[in-house]
């Protein structure tokens, strides 16, 4: 019995290792970005029927698991409020060190409101650099203003 999307995420992770698949290959098979595809396979986004079946084929999942991939998941991919993994922590640190800067500059440019994390996309690229390659991440979110009423 599968009673949560997390059970399916574990199946995908196990199958990915044993089959030696890359997220890039999964994304190509779906015709979607590697960022959205990975997030969805990790239980943070919802697949439609065709996508779920394609994912099920790639990872060899049961029909029940494929049905769960089409259910909106309970999101949140970190096991603790402050992440312990060094790669993920660096992102938390960026929010900690630059959070007030992001707030000041977005408000200075747009006024009161937020940058959406829903109407949002992310693109991760390698930039070659003789002093050491760089990870470049572009985050794009719609600005949503607070309005008085």
Q: Looking at the annotation, which residues are catalytic? A: 90, 93, 116
Q: Is 29 among the residues that bind its own copies (CB under 8 A)?
A: no
Q: Is 143 among the residues that bind its own copies (CB under 8 A)?
A: yes
Q: Is 54 among the residues that bind its own copies (CB under 8 A)?
A: no
CA distance 67 to 146: 38
Q: Which of residues 57-96 bind its own copies (CB under 8 A)?
A: 64, 67-68, 71-72, 74-96
Q: List beta partners, residue 125.
A: 136
Q: Is 49 among the residues that bind its own copies (CB under 8 A)?
A: no
Q: Is 1 among the residues that bind its own copies (CB under 8 A)?
A: yes
Q: Do 46 and 32 meet the contact criterion of CB atoms below 8 Å apart?
A: no
The number of CA neighbours under 13 Å toward the Cβ of 53 is 2
CA distance 55 to 42: 12
Q: Is 50 among the residues that bind its own copies (CB under 8 A)?
A: no
| One residue of 28, 29, 40, 58 binding its own copies per CB under 8 A | 40
| One residue of 13, 55, 57, 130 binding its own copies per CB under 8 A | 13
Q: Which of residues 109-128 bind its own copies (CB under 8 A)?
A: 109-122, 124, 126-127
The number of CA neighbours under 13 Å toward the Cβ of 119 is 6
- The residue among 29 and 45 lying less far from its own copies, judged by its C-beta, is 45
Closest CA to 11 of 49, 47, 62: 62
């Amino acid at each position: 019995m599968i009673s949560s999307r997390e059970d399916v995420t574990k199946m995908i992770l196990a199958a990915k290792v044993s089959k030696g698949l890359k997220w890039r290959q999964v994304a190509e098979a779906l015709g979607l970005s590697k960022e959205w595809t990975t997030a969805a396979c990790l239980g943070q986004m919802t697949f439609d029927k065709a996508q779920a079946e394609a994912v099920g084929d790639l990872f060899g999942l049961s029909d029940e698991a494929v049905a769960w991939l089409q259910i909106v998941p309970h999101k949140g991919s970190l096991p603790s409020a402050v992440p312990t993994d060094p790669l993920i922590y660096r992102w938390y640190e960026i929010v900690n060190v630059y959070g007030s800067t992001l707030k000041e500059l977005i408000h200075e440019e747009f006024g009161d409101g937020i940058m959406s994390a829903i109407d949002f996309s992310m693109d991760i690229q390698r930039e070659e650099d003789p002093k050491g390659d760089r990870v470049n991440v572009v985050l794009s979110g719609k600005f949503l203003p607070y309005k008085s009423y």
